[in-house]
Amino acid sequence: MAHLLGGLPLKERRGSRARCVLFTEGTRAEVAARLTALVAPHAIVHSERHIWMPNGLPDAMEGKLGEAKSFLSDGQRQEVTSWWLAVRHPTANTPNWDIISQAVIGGREGVILVEAKAHDRELIQAASGKSVDENASESSHSNHVQIGSCIQEASKALSLASGLPWNLSLDAHYQMSNRFAWAWKLAKMGIPVVLIYLGFLQADEMADRGAALPTHAHWRELVAAHSQSLFPSSVWGVPLNINGTALIPLVRSTTQILT
């Protein structure tokens, strides 16, 4: 399938980005089956009516929930974006998901959100916090403050929902913190969520960037170590009840061959 990747920019033809595109390449039945296997037994993706992003090639775009019209209603997109951003402007960002898919979760329509990695440094480098330049615009500073408030709101709510200590943060492990914050917000809005940290195993072509992920056990240990300052490792794999709506955080792995 490597020839398919010619439609991507050169730097995206390897690693997790290329593998996400290939994971969603194929017939609708094939892709729905892969996605269902990834989230089993918590959700089902139906080939005849559900959609996902990326969608193989040439439709290889990643998705932002506030912009992609297929996953949330107009009102829901407005709600979640206004929650995250105080001021909308061209450089204001919301999280970009490696894979998004519709799914049935616990008998209700919901979404699968995937953060994918192909080597250890991708996760290690995500341990940093989010900063804002002192010379940035007033709008950027306002957004920075609001995003911090959103993350703290989610952290407190997840502590109450789970009965466990949570410490989601703007200042460290920002990427994982914002992933859980968005998943919590959607669940609070009544949208069931499966949040997956997906490790692509044996991505040996990435040796110049970081160590490949050899096994699922190794990947799970990396994720547990990365998240231990944010919440207890017992959170992974256990459905959280957010006002009657499920938020299910999973660590998953797969092997996606590029050649």
In a domain, 259, yes or no: no
In a domain, 230, yes or no: yes
pLDDT bucket at 1, cuts 50 / 70 / 90? very low
Asked if 99 and 20 count as a contact pair (C-beta separation under 8 A), the reply is yes
3-state SS string over the chain? CHHHHHHCCHHHCCHHHHHHHHHCCCCHHHHHHHHHHHHCCCEECCCCCCCEECECCCECCCECCCCCCCCCCHHHHHHHHHHHCCCCCCCCCCCCECEEEEEEECCEEEEEEEEEECEHHHHHHHHCCCCCCCCCCHHHHHHHHHHHHHHHHHHHHHHHHHCCCCCCCCCCCHHHHHHHHHHHHHHHCCCCEEEEEEEECCCHHHCCCCCECCCHHHHHHHHHHHHCCCCCHHHCCCCEEECCEEEEEEEEEECCCCC
In a domain, 248, yes or no: yes
**Total structural domains within the chain:** 1
pLDDT per residue over 125-157, tens digit each?
999 999 988 888 999 999 999 999 999 999 999
In a domain, 113, yes or no: yes
In a domain, 85, yes or no: yes
In this predicted structure, the answer to whether residue 68 has a pLDDT above a threshold of 70 is yes
Q: Over the chain, what is the mean pLDDT?
A: 93
pTM: 0.95
pLDDT at 34: 97
In this predicted structure, the answer to whether residue 56 has a pLDDT above a threshold of 70 is yes
What is the rounded average pLDDT of the residues 190-206? 97
pLDDT at 117: 97
Dihedral-angle region of residue 107 (phi above 0 means left; psi in -120 to 50 means alpha; beta otherwise): left
In a domain, 88, yes or no: yes
Asked if 194 and 35 count as a contact pair (C-beta separation under 8 A), the reply is no
What is the rounded average pLDDT of the residues 3-22? 82
Which two three-digit tokens encode residue 56? 């193989």
What is the rounded average pLDDT of the residues 71-92? 92
Higher pLDDT, 140 or 90: 140
pLDDT at 110: 98
In a domain, 96, yes or no: yes
- What is the residue type of 33? A
pLDDT at 6: 66
Report the distance separating Cα 69 and Cα 40, nearest Å.
Answer: 26
Report the distance separating Cα 142 and Cα 220, nearest Å.
Answer: 36
Q: What is the domain range of residue 88?
A: 2-254
Exposure string of 234-249, with b = 16+ CB inside 10 Å and e = fewer, is: ebbeeebebeebbbbb
What is the rounded average pLDDT of the residues 217-228? 97
In a domain, 75, yes or no: yes
Higher pLDDT, 174 or 67: 174
Is the bond preceding residue 192 a cis peptide, omega within 30 degrees? no
Place of tokens 């390449």: 25
pLDDT at 3: 54
pLDDT per residue over 26-42, tens digit each?
999 999 999 999 999 99
In this predicted structure, the answer to whether residue 57 has a pLDDT above a threshold of 90 is no
In this predicted structure, the answer to whether residue 106 has a pLDDT above a threshold of 50 is yes
